[in-house]
Structure formats: C-alpha cells, structure tokens
C-alpha cells in the first residue's frame, strides 16, 4: 500500500497534466494537434530519462 501511495504522489503531476490536456482536447477539438505534439514531447522526455 505504501509503495502504491508513493507512486501516486510521484505520478500525480503527470496525471494532472494529462487530465487537463484531455479535458481541453474534449472541449476544443482543434487542440487535438497540440495535444498530440505535447504527448510526443512527453514521450521524448520520458525516453531521454
């Protein structure tokens, strides 16, 4: 349980960013391209680590 809580704390920022981007994407379909670009950037950052 403790490890799960630590993992949630570590990933909370990333989950929050994805959730906000997803809501914006749902509300404004034209931001889909921007969302994909941000997702690509996140993937590159994650791969660089």
Q: Measure the CA–CA gap between 14 and 29, rounded to whole angstroms.
A: 22
Residue 23 reports pLDDT greater than 70: yes
In this predicted structure, what is the pLDDT of residue 1?
Answer: 64
In this predicted structure, what is the pLDDT of residue 7?
Answer: 76
Average pLDDT over residues 18-47: 80
Please state the domain count of the chain: 1
Q: Which of 11, 36, 13, 8 is nearest to 24 (CA)?
A: 36
Average pLDDT over residues 13-42: 81
Residue 41 reports pLDDT greater than 70: yes
Residue 49 reports pLDDT greater than 60: no
Q: Domain of residue 37: give its range.
A: 2-48
Average pLDDT, the chain: 79
């Amino acid at each position: 349980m403790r490890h799960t809580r630590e993992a949630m704390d570590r990933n909370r920022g990333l989950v929050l960013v994805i959730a906000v981007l997803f809501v914006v994407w749902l509300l404004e379909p034209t931001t889909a391209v921007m969302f994909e670009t941000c997702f690509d950037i996140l993937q590159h950052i994650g791969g660089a680590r």
